[in-house]
Amino acid sequence: MKKIIVAILATGVILSSTAYADDYSWADDAVKYCQQQSILTGDEHGELNLGENMTREQMAKMLMETFCSEEIVGGIELSDFSDILQSRWSVPYIVPFKKYMKKSDEFFKPEQKVTREEFASSLVLASGLSEGNIRNRNILSENFSDAGEVDKEYKTLLCIAVERGYMKGAEEKLRPKDLLTRAEVCTFLYRVKQINDGKLTVIPADLGVIQSETPMIGSAQITVEQAQQWACEKGAADIFIEIAPIYWKYGSLSGIRPELLYAQAAKETGFGKYTGAVKPEQNNWAGIKTATATGDATEDHETFLTPDDGVRGHFNHMSAYVGLQPIGEPHARYNSVSKIAWAGTVTTLEGLGGKWCPDLYYGFSILHDFVEPMLSAQAE
């Protein structure tokens, strides 16, 4: 039997139902939940058919029942799909489901089997997210050898599905074209509902990405001159190239690896071009918020008097994460972060995800998109 390649959420609870005989114990909790919520129903013989591949009309029913039950239509509704008759059982689900389909035409193809990429894209949309919620566009290519197989129209939504822990791969493969069984779909839905309801905390390991541990504390693995050469080759602004020696100065004083924070600054400021809310004159190299920030406007970010103060503020802010004492008088946000329960426990770059910002892949993206290219450039 093909094993499910999404996260398994079984807790050992065995269903009393005799609706299936094969061993689907790994999906017990999920199946039970879907039955209780009328998301999954059996056929006329009471069979759940958990091993059968999900069809498109079944997908429409299960996603609408899970996330958008208030949109399920009643009475007589006409579908605008030319292959769907008004009398078809799935019409009340298909009619509202159309807006959660990334790709659609005049044919719905109700009995067509559903692939992982199609289901995941509709799952993201039905759960309330949109393509604008993407955090890391490279998360697929950096972690899955078959990322190139993903349909380009589904790519953004699959990035979101992986980022949020909705979908994960195995053995560095996402298998976007694989068909889904009804049991697998139950585990998808159950997992996402638990995440959205705050009953399941997703950690970086749940993303199914290649795991690594890059220590925050230690000596620099690259010289400041080599880092400047890399920044120059990347088309960095002059102020970003000029600030590098100050990063190495505070790296020596604090014990935090300067190339990691310099790489983070490259990510946060666009190599010193400051194309976001933070302005160059704020000398804020890491997008650090004020202690009283309520949004993401310019005034919600710290302003440091000089470039040196800004770099020192970056190291001080990181010190609250890794458990070091600040250098000089810290900014107010440092004091706020240092009081959080997990303060002082972040030992790796990858561990910044979900703490420095909501993106669990944040630290991995700094590693793959900035640190690794910086180190490889100096090795050539």
Lookup: tokens for 77: 């509704």
**Predicted local confidence at residue 23, as pLDDT:** 75
CA distances from 6 to 21, 62, 167, 282 (A): 22, 18, 6, 44
Reported as a single tens digit per residue, the pLDDT across 146-205 is 999 999 999 999 999 999 999 988 889 999 999 999 999 999 999 999 999 999 999 888
**Predicted local confidence at residue 75, as pLDDT:** 72
Name the pLDDT band for 47 (thresholds 50, 70, 90). Answer: confident
Reported as a single tens digit per residue, the pLDDT across 312-342 is 999 999 999 999 999 999 999 999 999 999 9
Lookup: tokens for 141: 């290519």
Reported as a single tens digit per residue, the pLDDT across 268-318 is 999 999 999 999 999 999 999 999 999 999 999 999 999 999 999 999 999
Task: Indicate whether 45 pLDDT > 80.
Answer: no
Name the pLDDT band for 80 (thresholds 50, 70, 90). Answer: confident
**Predicted local confidence at residue 379, as pLDDT:** 57
Task: Indicate whether 26 pLDDT > 80.
Answer: yes
Task: Indicate whether 30 pLDDT > 90.
Answer: yes
CA distances from 165 to 157, 162, 317 (A): 12, 5, 28
**Predicted local confidence at residue 14, as pLDDT:** 27
Answer for the pair 345, 316: CB distance below 8 angstroms, yes or no.
Answer: no
Name the pLDDT band for 378 (thresholds 50, 70, 90). Answer: low
**Predicted local confidence at residue 31, as pLDDT:** 95
Name the pLDDT band for 356 (thresholds 50, 70, 90). Answer: very high
Give me the amino acid identity at 349.
Answer: L
Name the pLDDT band for 380 (thresholds 50, 70, 90). Answer: low
Looking at the chain, the whole-number percentage of residues with pLDDT higher than 70 is 93
**Predicted local confidence at residue 181, as pLDDT:** 95
Lookup: tokens for 195: 């995440």
Task: Indicate whether 22 pLDDT > 70.
Answer: no
Is the whole-model pTM more than 0.95? no
On the 0-12 / 13-18 / 19+ scale of CB atoms within 10 A, 301 is: buried
Q: Which domains are present in the chain?
A: 25-203 (no CATH), 224-379 (1.10.530)
Which candidate, 128, 76, 135, 134, places its Cα nearest to that of 99? 128
